Structure 1
């Protein structure tokens, strides 16, 4: 699995209890869209004490208890691995005795209900600030509040009074969502249930609802950022590719030949290539779009239907692998002043497959005494030079340093 560095964008923001310092370092959002039904799974590797964890996410409706759940983080990680940009390699055969080259894929790693008195007291404190507690739930290790507010200052004052520490600038962003009629999903860890759990990791939260709007709120997520943020979005549909409607999504460069030494520095290669692709102004990049019934090559095994159903793919039947499930993977990067509009998506019938795929050709490592072999050596030297130029174009790395690394990793005949 490719681990992207410094990823921190999210649908909502973290609010710290007491003086905890919270930074959401990486996030993955799985969005299943079927007609007007949306199922959103939010996963992030929160680092900090469970007592300091809390988050708030805008939602279009008041969610019922049966619309909120948790998901095994391994399922989200599996989807990440399955769709991640990948390396593939070929091994050149003896040019004096040619054989068919075989391809081998390489995957490079990247709540408890309160008593009635306490509940009524909380309700009255909320009402005094113009906040209505529309619902209160216990979901796994989390306590959930669904809030409706009249003014952002009242909402922020209520949350602050309940022990949450809001990021700087929260009121202005909350005001926009209040004006749009959004409700607020607030989750924090119930320490008693968390301590009794089998795992001390915080599981991804999932919400499901019906809405004509097909969007993800990203503005609140910027408030936790101390630098440029990244987020991975996995969008699943019956029909085909899901496109970004209100931003121009770039496609990750793909299918080029690169030097074999990149296998040892793939995370650095990916980071540099992505930075060149997205540019300095922030944006969103498509990294994968494919029918989940098959893959070529597979960076990980396809997800079984049981895991897809857990993510909200209700039409995945039986115990086999996916049918009529199309996944689109986007990687977004932006800072606080960039991408000022929430992400709006549209579902399409486009089922053209796309993946971030990078090809390594290992030169033949053996004696070549024939005329065809000598020609092969000359052609391979030329190819290695072209690979160096292409890698420099992708990453911004200097051709000189690339050639030095090539010479260290190829047989002497090609140096």
Structure 2
């Protein structure tokens, strides 16, 4: 019997600071860290549509962020997105567990060894609201230009240009934003590259009271450069940082061009007790799989029209349109030409000093981070006087094969995670029938 066990990677990242394509700018004396940020990126030709989602849990009035952009964004190119849509794509592409159950050995003349059966089971205090009469004058005196101002959902948006980083940092500080240490130097890198700055803060008059989740922000623009800025995100970092990139394309896999993506270990059989400890397992396994000097891991690459097994249903046309996908005619239940690439980067200060550049490829080979649990048979073995010696030998072989398989699963788990073999063996012994200990 096989059971698909739904897993959401973000739920197991724990307290690790998450990278973002911008950084947070808190109110005075406030601390904000990037935790659980996700980026959905649709690319077609020179069109880029980037949806930025964060699981920021602080007070809404404390939230604001700055993201570099290659152009001045017009109002129609900035939208908010339902958080459930991003979560659905995350769930659909997340690494997963599948579970098999051994059936009773057929110890007769037709016995050909242990067997199993597959059966599906459902199982910043921001700047004062409104334009102040002297705001543009203050900005201009510091070499900062206010290119545009918009109201988008619960957010007030500023698009800024700057001649040098100190002036931009001073302007933002005067407007009530608290920049993290090291921000000015990183801002300077993007100013030299001709980038503009997308500044978003929450407008409390348009934001519902209470701990409402902040809506993901989406921006779209045309640029020959297919890239994701990550340097500003490091400024809010506190130790190792992660960024989860959910890439959408009609052509095929999205690949980084200036970093090599390594594949997540997959299709390995691990002990059954991991089901209740998948978060700890995933964190330990990913820490060993990720390049130690900082790098990117491929976790999923698949056609949107189907999945095997499905951790969640594929997204429909309505959801994909919300994430920026173009040329859709309606709320199609299946959009088979869409291809999803899930990339997970991990790095810390001093690593991955270049922003991530990508390319579309025609590679539509399927890949998924998938781990297997194979449960041993739990019924009683008949070893009574009426059982022939041949049948008893068959049962003994079955038990011996199962014991060996359980030992091998433990060795695989130790190699994947670095956990102590003795502790793994003890957990296996505690969670399997006595016959296999």
TM-score grouping bracket, smaller chain normalisation: over 0.9
Shift of 1:306: 0.4
The answer on whether the counterparts of 1:24 and 1:47 sit within 8 Å (CA) in structure 2 is no
Equivalent residues, number: 409
Report the TM-score, using the length of structure 2 for normalisation.
0.90
- Corresponding position of 2:256: 244
Residue 163 (structure 2) pairs with residue 150 (structure 1): yes
Correspondence list, 1:254-293, <5 A? 254-293=266-305
Q: Deviations over 1:355-408 (max 9, x none)?
A: 000011111111234343221111111111111111111000111111111111
1:367 to 361, 370, 380: 380
Q: 1:216 maps to what in 2? A: 228
CA shift, 1:19, in A, is 2.0
Larger radius of gyration: 2
Counterpart-to-counterpart distance in 2, 1:181 and 1:362: 58
Q: Provide Cα deviations, 1:172-208, integer angstroms capped at 9, x if missing partner.
A: 1111100000000000011111147x97221000000
3-state SS of paired residue (2:117): coil
> Quick one: which of 36, 45, 54 aligns to 1:26?
36
- 1:341 aligns with 354
Structure 1 residue 168: Cα displacement: 0.6
Distance (Å, rounded) in 2 between the aligned partners of 1:90 and 1:206: 41
Q: Report deviation, 1:120.
A: 4.5
- Cα distance, 1:396–1:103 mapped onto 2, change above 3 Å: farther
Q: 1:316: Cα distance to partner?
A: 3.4
Which consecutive unaligned segments of at least 5 residues does structure 1 have? Answer: none
Matched with 1:175 is 188
* Unmatched runs of 5 consecutive residues or more in structure 2: 1-7, 383-390
> 2-side partners of 1:106 and 1:261: how far apart?
20
Per the alignment, do residues 139 and 268 of structure 1 end up closer, same or farther by CA in structure 2, a change over 3 Å counting? Answer: same
* Other-structure match for 1:400: 422
Report runs of 4+ in structure 1 exceeding 3 Å deviation: 97-100, 103-107, 111-115
Relative to structure 1, the CA distance from residue 139 to residue 21 in structure 2 (aligned partners, 3 Å threshold; closer, same or farther) is: same
Q: CA deviation at 1:101?
A: 0.6
Match 2:118 to one of 79, 97, 102: 102
Tell me how far apart the structure 2 counterparts of residues 295 and 224 of structure 1 sit (CA, whole Å): 36
Which residue number corresponds to residue 38 of structure 1? 48
Of stretches 13-22 and 379-388 in structure 1, the one that deviates more from structure 2 is 13-22
C-alpha displacement at 1:303, in angstroms? Answer: 1.1
Deviation by residue 1:313-359 (Cα, 9 ceiling, x = unmatched): 12333321222100000111111111111011110000000000001
CA distance in 2, matches of 1:140, 1:103: 46
Deviation, structure 1 residue 64: 0.3
Distance of 1:122 and 1:373 partners within structure 2: 83
By how many angstroms is 1:105 displaced? 7.2
Match of 1:185 in 2: 198
